[in-house]
Amino acid sequence: MGRTVSSQPLQCTACGANDVIQIELTLPDGTEVEFYSCHTCEARWWNRDGEPLALDTVLDMARKTK
Ligand SMILES: [Zn+2]
């Protein structure tokens, strides 16, 4: 069992595997988001403050520089 930053195990919401990586990113507007990627099924998703974030929303925020 590996160590994770959060107290919750990282589990893929698509396939249920625990083979998920977490990357913390800061968008150009200063918003801190977390990017998750599953090695098993290649599902990817985003969170902000623990809330699921749509990819379109992330891309929209990434385009805004202020
Ligand atoms: Zn998966």
CA atoms within 13 A on the CB side of 19: 8
- C-alpha of residue 45 to centroid of ligand 1, in Å: 11
> 9: Cβ–Cβ under 8 A, 6 or more apart, which residues?
18
Per-residue pLDDT of the chain (66 residues; tens, 9 = 90+): 555 555 567 899 899 999 999 999 999 889 999 999 999 999 999 999 889 999 899 999 888 766
- C-alpha of residue 22 to centroid of ligand 1, in Å: 13
- C-alpha of residue 2 to centroid of ligand 1, in Å: 17
Residues with CB under 5 A from ligand 1 (ion): 12, 14-15, 17, 38, 40-41, 43
Domains of the chain, residue spans: 20-63
Q: Which helix (H) or strand (E) holds 22?
A: strand 20-26
Q: Tokens 């800061």: give the residue.
A: 26
pLDDT at residue 50, rounded to an integer: 85
Q: What is the pTM of this model?
A: 0.74
pLDDT at residue 3, rounded to an integer: 52
